A and B are shown apart, each in its own frame.
Chain A
Amino acid sequence: MRKFLLFAVPMVWLFAAFAAQAAEPGLTKNSIKIGIFGPLSGPASSFGEAELGIAAVYKDLNAHGGIYGRKIDIVMEDTACNPAKGIAAVKKLLSLDKVFMLHGGSCSDVVMALKPGIAKSGVPYMVATAASTSISKPLAANIFQNVPTTEAMARTEVDFAASKPGPKRVALVSQSDEWGKSGHDPAVDELKSKYHVTPVADVTFERGSIDATPQVLQLKAAKPSFIVTVLYPAPFAIFLRDAAKYGLTTPVIGSQAISIEDTAHQLRNPAEMNRVYVFYPMAAPIESKRMAKWRGIFEKYNPGVRLETSSLLGMGGAEALIAALRKAGPEPTRAKVIAALNGLHRFNTGVMANPVGFSPTDHAGAHGGAMIAYVGKKLVVIRHYAEAPK
C-alpha cells in the first residue's frame, strides 16, 4: 500500500499538473502568454500603432510587478491588414505559441475573417481597434470589442450633424469596403428612422484615390448643411483639400479612424480645419495633459515612433483585460477571464471617453464618444456623448 501511494501520489500530482496545463495553455506560475496581432506592415500599418500601444501597457504592467506575480509574456504577430495573413498569424498564436488569450486586430475585414475560428476556440479575445459592428453583433461568447462600433460612430456623427439648427441636409461620403459600408448603412438608417430624411447626396470615395472632384462637385450641387464621412485618413485629407479647392465650405465630420492633428498638418491652409469635426472615442486629445500618462507609456516602450490617435486607442482594451485578469484571481482560467469581462460594468479605463462595460449579452463595450474640433489653434471637445444614439 505504501509503495502504491509512493507511486500513485506523484502520478496523480503530475497528471493534475499536466491536465491543468492542457486546460489552460499559455499560463505558468510566472507568466501569462498573450498573443497580440495587428497590421504592423502593409498599407494600413499606421493602424498597427494600436498594437504597439497595447504591448506598451502590458510591458508597463510587467515593470510594475505584473498580476499576482505573473508577468505578461507578449507574442506579437503581423497581419498586414490581410485576412489570409491574419488567419495564419492567429493559427500560429493558438497552435504553436499556445497563448492564454488574444488581443489585437485593427482591420475589420481581418477580424471578421477570424471571428468564426476564434469563437470556436473559446480563447478570450479582446479586439484592438477594429470597429465593424458585425464583430460584436451577433455576439460570440469569447470576443470583446472595446472601441465604439462603426454603427455607434455613424449614428453619433449623424446626430451631431442633425443637431445643428436649420434644415437637415446631410450628405454622406464613404468608402465602399466592409468598414465603410458598416458606417454608411447605419448613417442612412439614422437619418431615415430618426429624422425622416434621406441624404441629400451619397457618394463613394475609395482608398487610393488622388482626386475628389466628381464627389465635391456633386456635393456642392446638393447644397448640404453638413457632410458626414466614413473615410480613412488619406482619402479624408484629399477630400478636404479638393473641397477647399472648389469652394465647398460645408462643415465636415470625420470618423474615428482620423487623426485630427495629422489632418491639420496635411492641409495647406490650417484655417480649413475650423469646419472639421472628428468623432473621437478617447477621453481627451492625445496631446492634452489628461492623456500624459498614456502618452508616456507609449513613448517609453516605442521610442522614435510618432504618436497618433491610434497609438493610444487600443490601450483601453488592455486596461479592461488587466482588470478582468485581476478579477479572475490568482489562478485564472480562460472561463474565469471571460466571466470577469462579462462582469465588468462601468469600468473607467482612463483612456476612453466613457467607462466601458460588457455583459453576457453585449460585448460592444465602448459606448458614446466625443466630437472634437479646432477652435482657433486649440483642439477641444465640442460635445461629449455618454451613449451612442440607439
Chain B
Amino acid sequence: MAAQLVLSGIGQGSIYALVALGMTILFRVTTIVNFAHGELFMAGAFVIYALLRWGVPYPLAMLGAIVFLFALGNAVERGLMRPLAGAPHISLAMMTVALSYLLRGAVRFVWGGNVRSLPPLFSFAPVEVSGVIIDAEDLVIILSAAALLAVFFVLMRYSQLGKYAQAVTDSARGAALVGINVPAFHCLMWGVAAVVAAVASILVAPETMLYPDMGARVLLRAFAAMTLGGFGSLAGAVVGGLLMGVIEQLAGGYVSTAMIDIASYIVIIAVLLLRPAGLFGRPEVVRV
C-alpha cells in the first residue's frame, strides 16, 4: 500500500506542482500572488470541453485552450492589472480575487453548476507492476511537470528571458532604464503563467471532473506547495507540490482519510513557524 500511496502522491503532487509552477513564474516577475490561477486552470478545462462539444478534435482543442489562456492572461494584465500599476499589493491581490469570482461566475452562467467530464487523453489500461498500479495519465502528468520545470529552469537561468525576468524582479525602474519594456514583459509573463495553467488543465481535467469550483482546492494545495518549497523558487514549487501530494496520500492511507484535507494546513503552519522561507527559498536580506 505504501508504494501505491507514494506513487499516487507523486501523481497528485505533480498536479499541485504544475499549478504552483504557473503561480511561481508570475510571482517571480511581478511579485503578484495570483488568487485567480485556480480559475485559469478551470477555464482551460472548460475551453477544451466547449471545443470538443463543437466537434473540434482533441489535439486542436488542447491547442485552442493554450491559445485562449495565453490571450486571457494578456487581457487580464492589460485590462485589469496594468491600470493598478503602483497600487498597494493588497489591491493587486484583491483584483485577482475578484477575477477568480468573475471567471467562476462566467463559467457557471454558461454551463451551470453541473459536473461534467472530459474523455481520457489515452486509452491505455492501468498496468500492475509488483502489486503497484501504474496509470498512463499519472505518468504523463509526472513527466510533464518534470519537463516544464526543466524548460523553465533553463529559460530562467540561461536565456535572455531569464535575465529580463531577474532584472524586472530586482528593479522594474532599473530594467526600464536599460531598455526593457516592463509592461510588455509583465503582459508576456501573465500569458505564460496562464499557458502553464492551460497545460495543467489539459493533463488533469480528463482525470477528474469539470465544475466551476474545481480550481479552488487545487489553488490551496498550490499555495501550500509554494510555501513548503519557498515562494518564488521554481524548484521549490515542484518539490513542494510533490511533497504535498505524498504527505496527503500517506496521511490519508495510514492515519485517517479525514487528515487529507488538514495536511496542507498543517504543512503551511509548520513551515511558516520553522522555516518561513521554505525549503528552497532564501530569507530576504536588506542592506542597511
Contact = CB atoms under 8 A, between A and B. Distances in A.
Contacts of B213: 43, 208
A246 interface: yes
B145 interface: no
Interface string B80-109: 000000000000000000000000010010
Interface string B213-227: 110111000000000
Contacts of B57: none
B258 A176 contact: yes
22 contacts: A39-B113, A41-B108, A44-B113, A45-B108, A46-B113, A206-B260, A206-B261, A208-B216, A208-B217, A211-B208, A211-B249, A213-B5, A213-B12, A213-B249, A214-B8, A214-B257, A214-B260, A237-B209, A245-B133, A245-B135, A266-B116, A308-B114
Residue of B12, B15, B209 most packed against chain A (CB within 10 A) = B209
Contacts of B1: 217, 221
Contacts of A218: 253, 257
Contacts of B113: 39, 41-46, 48
Nearest to B133: A246
A346 interface: no
B182 to A, nearest CB: 37
A163 interface: no
Given A42-B113, A46-B115, A217 B5 contact: yes
B209 A211 contact: no
A361 B212 CA distance: 41
Interface in B129-174: 133, 135
B252 interface: yes
Interface in A299-342: 305-306, 308
Contacts of A233: 115
Contacts of B59: none
Contacts of A305: 112
A209 B217 contact: yes
Interface of A: 39, 41-46, 48, 176, 203-206, 208-211, 213-215, 217-218, 221, 233-234, 237-238, 245-247, 262, 265-266, 268, 305-306, 308
B4 interface: yes
Contacts of B5: 213-214, 217
Interface of B: 1, 4-5, 8, 11-12, 15, 105, 108, 112-117, 119-120, 126, 133, 135, 204, 207-209, 211-214, 216-218, 249, 252-253, 256-258, 260-261
Nearest to B245: A211
A9 to B, nearest CB: 57
Contact of A45 (B112, B117, B126): B112
A386 B136 CA distance: 47
Nearest to B204: A210
Contacts of A208: 213-214, 216-217
Given A217-B1, A237-B209, A211 B12 contact: yes
B261 A41 contact: no
Contacts of B135: 245
A49 B50 CA distance: 22
A209 B120 CA distance: 19
Contacts of B116: 266
A268 B206 CA distance: 10
Contact of A46 (B12, B114, B117, B256): B114
A306 to B, nearest CB: 7
Contacts of A209: 217, 260-261
A289 to B, nearest CB: 25
Contacts of B217: 208-210
A262 B253 contact: no
Contacts of A45: 108, 112-113
A333 B137 CA distance: 62
B11 to A, nearest CB: 8
Nearest to B1: A217
Contacts of B256: 204
Contacts of B209: 210, 234, 237-238, 266
A214 B253 contact: yes
B211 A215 contact: no
Contacts of A215: 252, 257
B266 to A, nearest CB: 16
Nearest to B135: A245
Contacts of B204: 210
A284 B135 CA distance: 38
Contacts of B112: 45-46, 305-306
A39 B1 CA distance: 40
Nearest to B220: A208
Which 7 residue pairs spanning A and B have beta carbons closest together? A214-B252, A45-B113, A213-B8, A208-B217, A214-B253, A210-B208, A203-B257
B115 A306 contact: no
Contacts of A262: 114-115
B169 to A, nearest CB: 32
A218 B256 CA distance: 10
A209 B214 CA distance: 9
